[in-house]
């Protein structure tokens, strides 16, 4: 009984683990059926019962030595529950389960990491593409401007060379005249010398006849120097003249298209010079041919393209509806079909005055800041691009990047105008520089 009387070391006041807090000071294991004495110290119910078993009369707390008159304690359910939790959390299956969760979470993180690393690679690839494309485009822009500068440079060289030649010719003319005058001068001076000599000798001898004189060459009167004629060509509005000439060298410059009357739907009338097309209520019957559109109010240009880059401009004015673009040579012209790249049409369309769309299926609605009166169409046969521009300010309206393969023709539809409106034409624009060529 004396052995049980030895006081137990007090639990360290420092912050221990929960497991330490729930350890019985007698058996040094997790509490089994924890009970609390009047002094608030806890022990396992079997441990404290065993500790007090041999004692009769008052008993003491093994930890703080407080005396109690009888063997009395209270079951502490809260501590019991906590002990159960700690015990469960250190069990073999619990740990196995925890390890499994750990492995799975790690695996998930590995997968996630791989995903993220793929994303990083993709974004880096994108950046590389942007840089490569940017460099290509820079080279292209430099090339285009270089070509323009070359045209200007060549024109400047040509004009300076012409000026040099004309200056030379003018100088040569004057030089020629000058030589003739100098020759006449020498002859006159020679005659003067002979005459002076003769005059000197007359003091000694009687002069019987005039000395022999040279024939003086006749010098034509010099033409007046016409500085105006010489400079007029170079005092002209040089920049504008050069700019007009540059037009002819632009690649591509605006193509001077004409309508192909043989393709015109019977209700389309074309002007004599084939640059204006209007839709009328009445139909004109032509001899039939395979090229003609019979169902839809369409017409093509005579000029087809199958290689290179081409640009043309069309005036639509304030027409409330129209379609235009390019059509494959092979399009079906005898049936009514929906315009789309799949059917061989790459078009821009206007409806109700201000509803612009790209002619995809379904249509792609476009928001334009202004209503163009003139449109530019650009086709790059090699890159398979078809682009539409507002030719009033050259802003890009829409681009097809899945353009045509094979031969295409500029395509137009004046559409059927409402009966209340005067039909408005579609006009193919020809620029003066083009008319100047040849
Ligand atoms: Zn115990
Ligand atoms: Zn105590």
Is the separation of the CB atoms in 379 and 339 below 8 Å?
A: no
Q: Give the integer Cα–Cα distance in Å for 20 and 11.
A: 9
Q: Which ligand is nearest to the CA of 10?
A: 2
pLDDT in the model for residue 11:
44
Give average pLDDT by consecutive 10-residue segment, the chain, 438 residues: 46 62 92 93 94 87 91 91 86 86 95 97 97 96 94 94 95 92 92 86 71 80 84 89 86 93 93 93 77 92 96 95 95 89 96 94 94 96 96 95 95 84 89 49
Q: Which ligand is nearest to the CA of 43?
A: 1
Q: Which ligand is nearest to the CA of 35?
A: 1
pLDDT in the model for residue 436:
42
Q: Give the integer Cα–Cα distance in Å for 28 and 125.
A: 63
Ligand 1 centroid vs 92 CA: distance in angstroms? 22
Q: Give the integer Cα–Cα distance in Å for 53 and 47.
A: 10
Q: Give the integer Cα–Cα distance in Å for 280 and 436.
A: 33
pLDDT in the model for residue 207:
67
Q: Which ligand is nearest to the CA of 51?
A: 1
Q: Give the integer Cα–Cα distance in Å for 39 and 60.
A: 10
Residues within 5 Å of ion ligand 2, judged at the Cβ atom: 39, 41, 61, 63-64, 66
pLDDT in the model for residue 389:
97
Q: Which ligand is nearest to the CA of 34?
A: 1
Q: Give the integer Cα–Cα distance in Å for 137 and 133.
A: 6
Closest CA to 83 of 37, 32, 123: 32
pLDDT in the model for residue 335:
85
Is the separation of the CB atoms in 318 and 373 below 8 Å?
A: yes
Ligand 2 centroid vs 292 CA: distance in angstroms? 113
């Amino acid at each position: 009984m004396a052995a049980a009387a030895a006081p137990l070391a007090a639990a360290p006041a420092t912050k221990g683990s929960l497991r330490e807090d729930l350890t019985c000071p007698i058996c040094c294991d997790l509490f089994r059926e924890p009970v609390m004495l009047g002094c608030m110290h806890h022990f396992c119910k079997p441990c404290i019962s065993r500790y007090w078993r041999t004692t009769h009369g008052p008993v003491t707390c093994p930890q703080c030595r407080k005396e109690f008159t009888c063997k009395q304690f209270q079951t502490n359910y809260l501590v019991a529950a906590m002990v159960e939790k700690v015990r469960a959390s250190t069990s073999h299956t619990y740990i196995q389960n925890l390890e499994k969760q750990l492995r799975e979470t790690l695996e998930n993180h590995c997968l996630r990491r791989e995903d993220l690393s793929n994303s990083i690679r993709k974004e880096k690839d994108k950046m590389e593409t942007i840089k490569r494309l940017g460099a290509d485009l820079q080279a292209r822009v430099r090339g285009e401007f270089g070509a323009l500068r070359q045209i200007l440079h060549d024109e400047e060289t040509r004009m300076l060379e012409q000026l040099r030649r004309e200056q030379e010719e003018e100088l040569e003319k004057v030089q020629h005249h000058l030589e003739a005058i100098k020759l006449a001068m020498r002859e006159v001076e020679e005659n003067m010398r002979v005459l002076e000599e003769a005059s000197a000798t007359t003091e000694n001898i009687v002069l019987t006849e005039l000395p022999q004189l040279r024939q003086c060459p006749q010098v034509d009167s010099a033409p007046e120097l016409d500085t105006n004629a010489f400079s007029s060509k170079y005092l002209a509005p040089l920049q504008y003249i050069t700019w007009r000439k540059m037009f002819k060298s632009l690649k591509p410059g605006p193509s001077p298209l004409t309508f192909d009357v043989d393709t015109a739907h019977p209700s389309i009338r074309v002007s004599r010079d084939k640059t204006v097309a209007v839709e009328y209520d009445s139909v004109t019957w032509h001899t039939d041919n395979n090229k003609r559109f019979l169902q839809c109010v369409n017409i093509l240009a005579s000029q087809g393209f199958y290689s290179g880059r081409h640009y043309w401009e069309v005036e639509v004015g304030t027409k409330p509806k129209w379609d235009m673009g390019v059509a494959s040579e092979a399009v079906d012209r005898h049936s009514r079909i929906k315009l789309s790249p799949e059917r061989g049409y790459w078009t821009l369309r206007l409806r109700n005055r201000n509803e612009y769309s790209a002619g995809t299926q379904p249509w792609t609605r476009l928001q334009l800041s202004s209503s163009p009166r003139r449109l530019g169409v650009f086709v790059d046969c090699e890159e398979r691009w078809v682009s539409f521009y507002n030719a009033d300010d050259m802003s890009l309206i829409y681009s097809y990047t899945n353009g045509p393969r094979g031969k295409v023709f500029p395509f137009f539809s004046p559409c059927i105008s409402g009966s209340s409106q005067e039909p408005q034409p579609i006009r193919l624009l020809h620029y003066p520089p083009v008319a100047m060529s040849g």
